[in-house]
Amino acid sequence: MEIDQFLIIGFIAVFAGAPAFLHLLKPSGAIAAFFTGTSIWAGFGIKGLFLLGVFFITSSLMSKYRSQRKEKLGELHEKGSARDWAQVAANGGMAAFAGLANVITSDPVWFIVLAVSLASANADTWASELGVLSKQQPISIKSMKRVPRGTSGAISGFGTAASGAGSLLIALTADFLFGLGSGWTLAVLLLGLTGSLLDTLLGAYLQAGFKCSRCNLLTEKTTHCGEATSLVSGFVQINNDAVNFISCFTAAMMGMSLYNIL
């Protein structure tokens, strides 16, 4: 192994480890981030790492942005703000898979999978992290009624705009790094946005929703007020991480199909 390869692996380790000290990642999340970074670097080199870095840094900043105000919404979410391995795998797993796949069988289609899955993950992260700060309460796509900010399966104009901006940033960065061309840049933007919308749909119809029997709070948490909550909607096996992974995966598969058709 060359000395500069050691340096890069060290760099990935620092980048994956530092957020754990800042309480952005749990230790399991840092380990998953290290494997994700290493796989992407192995498949796509420094440029791939740079694209991952854009997702990782901007979504971390979004999470920290006005975090005190978001803490009030913490009741709703299954997990706190520090990401564990499942959250990292849900957002970066497809990109890591594309990196390993490109090592085994080099093919331009893996660049599309990398770009689309990161665009989808970024669109979804920006939508949820910025959308909760919207002045207006979002509308549930299931009931068409206004619901509390941060509810899965609900949309707002502000959140949708944030989603489009998140996808656009990844599409433009991927074009800059890999020369996707205008057609594929547009495709990555639209597929990233599609992934984020799919995330909302699955969040509304499939994701487990619970209710606390003591305080009647609707939550994604399996326990509240020191007691187990009861399932009121969706499937108990499908949490937010599963929904994120399925939507990233589906968007990436749509990108692969499009690549094979064209």
> Cβ 219 to Zn ion, closest distance in Å?
8
CB 189 within 8 A of CB 119: yes
Minimum separation from the CB atom of position 226 to Zn ion (A): 8
- Given candidates 103, 225, 231, 232, which one binds Zn ion under the rule CB under 5 A? 225
The CB-of-138 to Zn ion minimum distance in angstroms stands at 22
CA distances from 188 to 7, 105, 173, 221 (A): 31, 22, 11, 33
Q: By CB under 5 A, tell whether 215 contacts Zn ion.
A: yes
Q: List strand residue ranges (DSSP E) for the chain, in order.
A: 139-140, 154-155, 209-211, 218-219, 223-224, 227-228, 230-233
How long is the chain?
A: 262
Nearer to Zn ion, 57 or 225 (CB): 225
To Zn ion, the closest distance from the beta carbon of 170 in angstroms equals 38
CB of 68 to Zn ion, least distance (A): 22
Binding flag, residue 214, Zn ion (CB under 5 A): yes
Distance CA 161, CA 15 (A): 29
The region of 2-10, 122-130, 147-155, 216-224 touching Zn ion under the rule CB under 5 A is 216-224
Write out the binding residues for Zn ion, residues 86-105 only, by CB under 5 A.
Answer: none
43 close to 104: Cβ distance less than 8 angstroms: no
- Contact between 224 and Zn ion (CB under 5 A)? yes
Nearer to Zn ion (CB atom), residue 83 or residue 224:
224
Where do the DSSP E strands lie in 139-201?
Answer: 139-140, 154-155
Of 52 and 212, the one with the shorter C-beta distance to Zn ion is: 212
- Residue 258 tokens read as 């499009």
Alpha-carbon distance of 195 to 248, in angstroms, equals: 6
Of 210 and 245, which CB lies nearer to Zn ion in the complex structure? Answer: 210
x-or-dash pattern for Zn ion, window 173-212, by CB under 5 A?
Answer: ---------------------------------------x
Q: Are 209 and 197 in contact (CB under 8 A)?
A: no
Q: How many Cα atoms occupy the beta-carbon half-sphere of 126 within 13 Å?
A: 29
Which residue, chain included where needed, has tokens 């959308």?
131
Would you call 226 exposed, middle or buried from its count of C-beta atoms within 10 A (0-12, 13-18, 19+)?
Answer: exposed
Stretch near Zn ion under the rule CB under 5 A, chosen from 51-59, 88-96, 224-232, 251-259: 224-232
Residue 67 vs 213, nearer CB to Zn ion: 213
Judged by beta carbon, residue 46 or residue 215, the one nearer Zn ion is: 215
Q: How many residues bind Zn ion (CB under 5 A)?
A: 6
Q: Which stretch binds Zn ion (CB under 5 A): 5-13, 116-124, 141-149, 214-222?
A: 214-222
Phi, psi of 39 (to 5 degrees): -65, -45
Cα gap 217→220, rounded to integer Å: 10
Question: In this complex, which beta carbon is closest to Zn ion, that of residue 57 or of residue 215?
Answer: 215
Q: Which residues lie near Zn ion (CB under 5 A)?
A: 212, 214-215, 217, 224-225
